[in-house]
Amino acid sequence: MNMELASYPYLSAILLSCVAGLLVILFIPREREALVKWVSLAFSGIALVLSIYVYCAYDRTLGGLQFVEKIQWIESLGIHYFNGADGFNLPLILLTGIVHFTGVLTMWELRGRVKEFFAFAFVLVLGVFGFFMSMDLFFLFVWFDVSLFPMYPLIAIWGTTRKEYGALKLFLHVLAGSALVLPGIVYLSVVSGLRTFDIVALMQPGAFTPGQQKFAFFLFYIGFGILAGVWPLHTWSPVGHVAAPTSVSMLHAGVLMKVGAFGILRVGIFLCPLGWEYWAPLMAILATIGIVYGIFVGLTQTDLKYVVAFSSVSHMGIVGLGLSTVTAEGLNGAVFQMFAHGTMTALLFSSLGYIYDKTHTKLIPDLGGMSRVMPMASGYFIVAALAGMGVPGFASFWAEVTVFISALKVYPVLGSLAICALVLSALYMLRVVQRTFYGQRNERYAQLPDVSFSLGLPRMILVAVMVLFGLFPRLMLDLIQTAVIPFMGGLAR
Amino acid sequence: MKWFILGPEIYFLTVTLVFLILSLTHLNGRRDFRAALFLAALGVAVTLATVRLEGSLFHGAYRVDLYSQVFKGLLSLGFFLVVCLCSNLNGIDEWRHSEFYLFLATCTLGMMLLVSSVELLTLYVALELSSYSLYALVPLRSGSGQQMEAAMKYFLSGIATSALMLFGLASLFGATQTTYVAELALKLPGLLNTPMAFVGLLLTLCGFFFKLALFPFHVWAPSVYQGAANQVTAFLATATKLTAIAMLARLVSMSHGNTSMAHVLIALAIISMTYGNLVALIQKDFKRLLAYSATAHAGYSLMGILSMNQTGYAAAVFYAVAYLAMTFTCFLVLVKVAPNGSNLGVVQLAGLHRRSPLLAMGLMVGVFSLGGIPPTIGFTAKFLVFNAAMERGYFLLVLIAMINVVVSLYYYVQVVKAAFLLEPDEQLPVIKLSAPATILMVIMIVVIVVGGIFPRYLFQLTQAAIEALL
């Protein structure tokens, strides 16, 4: 893999903008709530601008790892502070920037303990950014846990339905995942005999025997798979999503679940390609079950947030299916699906959050005819629901098509099963849309205001991003391709 | 002047004399506290000034090297930190304050002598000096009878373990005909397959397992943690653990990677962390919870020692430093929150985020550090220990330890939940922190976080100390 050293540490600047945001917020008196929000917006804006810059400035003809920053951290153990950007992580860095920025805007009306909320949110996003850009296993793990632990207070303090239970369940599940990841990481570093945690150095062929790769890949698949919502390890995810406050659901379903999937890719697939090939059939089966299961359980839910949460399980199954094909197209589609699902689910939770804030209910039978009460808010939800069904014109369409084409080639039965299930998903999304936004209007909510322009801004941004990459998918697919082709070409077969 | 290398010991001997004299004069708690604070701060300076000294005294029975000096520095720091907690020493009657400081100083002195002893009898005498000081410290608390129960438990189990240890020392001498650690280290590896030497070494270790509250020597810990005054518990939970890890590393390193010894230690480590964490799950009292978590942490830190390689010992020492920082932070919060020096239930932390946001944040950082969540020093310590164990191929041990970490998070989260989420039944007043207490709290938070992010220099220091040991 060729490496381009950074002329300016843009990647660290993204991390620093999060740290700076956190520190500034800590020194603002807790009564100055508006100031806290503006500061959060400013620093998340800086991070967004930087991530857009890095995304655009990446040299696609050159490929490889760019914007590389490498500093020795602990010599005797071979730990480096090592960041880099390639076609795999750039879409996700961009996604994190977008979701955090829109998340801050979505929470603009938050009341009570504002300072702590935005401080914890910065810690979470810091961990996610760091995880995506890190090329050192030690730091990767550190960022992984940094992104996880703020989830507990964020859900337990500001959440809603069964918040303490949901927060604790989520927290213990995902950290149980990290209990498998850490031994796996240390194991790889020790058995390689290289005394390093540098992913690029460990990627050299022959660093691990096939047996070691199979063993380690399994650890990473389960460990990261819990966070990625792989069936049957997903049980924390609907409960956690439902309990979380709006922007935390956005960050969590939009970004954190991708952390899990990306962990499987960056650690599992990168370092243990033979293990990947060995376990691919299992991954495919679990992913297909996840897709089908998510849709069927979603069909029976009466709580809007549960519907969206189970659709996340289903859509993350598509990511898993893409990864399990062991083909270039599959990988490409999986990474694109991570991005597409991130924006889509963020929009779903964001528009749903507005409706819940106003009506204080998210039960489908209680709502109804919302499109006449809040046409804009309903519009955003319907757009996101359409994207979730895979309607052409949105980014998820291309992602799902790419994944399913490659899946049909490799696993004809499972692939066709998944496609059939996806047709059903249209049914269940339409059912929700019909019952919630059309039909008999509930008079209790007739006087509620529609979403204002300023509050609508985050939703507009998300719609714009989905449409942009839906109309011009090559903006992203080509970028991912620059990483996928050399990687698949380099695999020893 | 070769006596310079005994600087810290001589200094702390003087401190004990000062408090002996103060205890004979009329009582004045404020004066005692100020004197203790000044003397403790000076003690840190004196000890740090002698860090680079090396030498040997008393016919080779007493060695001063980087290893011992690093630990003396940490002990004097621990002494200073515990004295910092005593500004409001209302768990102990005022007329006993100077005695409290006196025994605290003799205990520190004993532990300083201990980490430098390289001869078994010297070692035993130093150990008993520190132990007897602690036996006297535990019942100092005023009020109900629970401190007497704690003191009896501590004393009886303590002397029983001492007897075991003496038996072990005798066996070691019988097997090797020497009491010098350096000679033992040469003779033992060949002899460890004989029962006498093996059992001798193991029983010798028991004395320090007791200090570390490792299973099955943990039985005293919950009652003593709960029964002793908060400041005494803080000292027990920090300084004695440091010493125990230092001595275990020194004694285990004599066996030169003997696998049977490693297997015994692995078994103890696994049982200890599992038992400690499982029992901690149901604790309601914060100090009891910390006692069981100490048993679990004894298991984790033993993982570094049982790896029996240089990174392992260094990791164990790093773990001891990290444990000092994070446990002290928890006790700092406990002492500030507990009204009139009483015990503190976990639910009594309710509403802390409004009563004192800084304390709540410090508690969260300290507790998450104990739980091993990055980027804290507690995570880095665990990582180093696991790395060392993995180098010896103990994959399952690491996996079990990680699962234990997740189990332990449950009760650590309960503490965080109480501080950030629960609301007290009645309105409790805001906790006013004095300026020094605020600064101390901020320093502890910074140390825990920065120690987690930049462990490099601390780790290099521990490695250098271990090189001096081996």
* CA distances from residue A265 to A89, A146, A147, A312, A334 in whole angstroms, order as listed: 10, 19, 18, 19, 10
Per-residue pLDDT at B75: 93
Q: Which residues of A touch B386 (CB under 8 A)?
A: 182-183, 186
What's residue A389's pLDDT? 82
Strand B62-64 vs strand B55-57: parallel, antiparallel, or unpaired? antiparallel
Is residue A16's pLDDT more than 60?
A: yes
What whole-number percentage of chain A has pLDDT above 90?
A: 19
> What is the pLDDT at residue A30?
82
**Could you tell me which chain B residue has the CA closest to the CA of A180?**
B399
The per-residue pLDDT string of chain B (470 residues; one tens digit each, 9 = 90 and over) reads 677 788 888 999 999 999 898 888 877 778 888 888 899 999 999 888 888 888 888 888 888 888 888 999 999 999 999 998 888 887 788 778 888 899 999 999 999 999 988 888 999 999 999 999 999 988 888 877 788 888 899 999 999 999 999 999 999 898 888 888 888 888 888 888 888 888 999 999 999 999 999 988 888 999 999 888 888 999 999 999 999 999 999 888 888 878 888 899 999 999 999 999 999 999 888 999 999 999 999 999 999 999 888 888 999 999 999 999 999 999 999 988 887 778 888 888 888 888 888 899 999 999 999 998 888 999 999 999 999 999 888 889 999 999 999 899 899 988 988 888 888 887 788 888 888 889 999 999 999 999 888 888 888 888 888 888 87
CB proximity B422 to A under 8 Å:
no
Average pLDDT (A67-91) is 88
Distance from CA of B232 to the nearest CA of A (A): 32
Burial of A209 (0-12, 13-18, 19+ CB in 10 A): exposed
Distance between CA atoms of A479 and A485, rounded to whole angstroms? 11
CB B5 within 8 A of CB B53: yes
Closest chain A residue to B452 measured between Cα atoms? A142
Greater confidence, A163 or B361?
Answer: B361
- A187 to chain B nearest CA, in Å? 6
Residue A3's pLDDT is 73
A 421-450: CB under 8 A from B = none
Which residues on neighbouring strands pair with residue A72, listed in sequence order? A80
Instruction: Sheet containing A3-5: give its strands across.
Output: A3-5, A65-74, A79-85
**pLDDT, chain A, mean:** 86
Of B399, B402, B410, Cβ closest to residue A172: B410
- Residue A445, pLDDT score: 74
Instruction: For chain A, give percent helix, strand, coil, nearest 5.
Output: 75, 5, 20
CB proximity A142 to B under 8 Å? yes
Burial call B58-81: b when 16+ CB within 10 Å, e when fewer: eeebbbbbbbbbbbbbbbbbbbbb
Contacts of B463 in chain A (CB under 8 A): 76
- A-proximal residues of B, 8-47, CB under 8 Å: none
Which A residues 169-228 touch B at CB under 8 Å?
A: 171-172, 175-176, 178-180, 182-183, 186-187, 189-190
Confidence (pLDDT) at A129: 93
State how far the Cα of B32 lies from the Cα of B23, in Å rounded to an integer: 9
* Range with the largest mean pLDDT of A133-137, A230-234, A437-441: A133-137
Q: In this predicted structure, what is the pLDDT of residue B161?
A: 92
State the best of B421, B450, B453, B460 to mutate against chain A, taking most chain A CBs within 10 Å.
B421
pLDDT digits (tens, 9 = 90+) for A174-195: 888 888 899 999 998 888 888 8
CB < 8 Å to B367, chain A: none
pLDDT greater than 60 at residue A492: no
User: What pLDDT does residue B448 have?
Assistant: 93
Residue A60: how many other CB atoms lie within 10 Å = 11
Q: Determine the Cα–Cα distance for residues A155 and A364; give it in Å rounded to an integer.
A: 23
Say which residues have a Cβ less than 8 Å from residue B240's Cβ, sequence separation at least 6: B111, B130, B134, B211
Nearest to B409 among A75, A141, A172 (CB): A172
State whether residue B311 sits within 8 Å of chain A by CB: yes
**Which residue in chain B has the smallest CA separation from A115?**
B357
| CA distance linking residue B78 with residue B84, whole number of Å | 10
Which pLDDT tens digit goes with each residue over A345-374? 888 888 888 888 888 877 877 777 777 778
Residue B433 CB partners (closer than 8 Å, separation 6+): B336, B356, B358, B359, B441
Q: How confident is the model at residue A1 (pLDDT cuts 50, 70, 90)?
A: low
Instruction: Give the helix ranges, DSSP H, for B177-285.
Output: 181-191, 195-212, 221-227, 230-252, 259-280
Sorted by where each begins, the domain ranges of chain A are: 3-490
Give me the interface pTM, i.e. the ipTM.
0.86
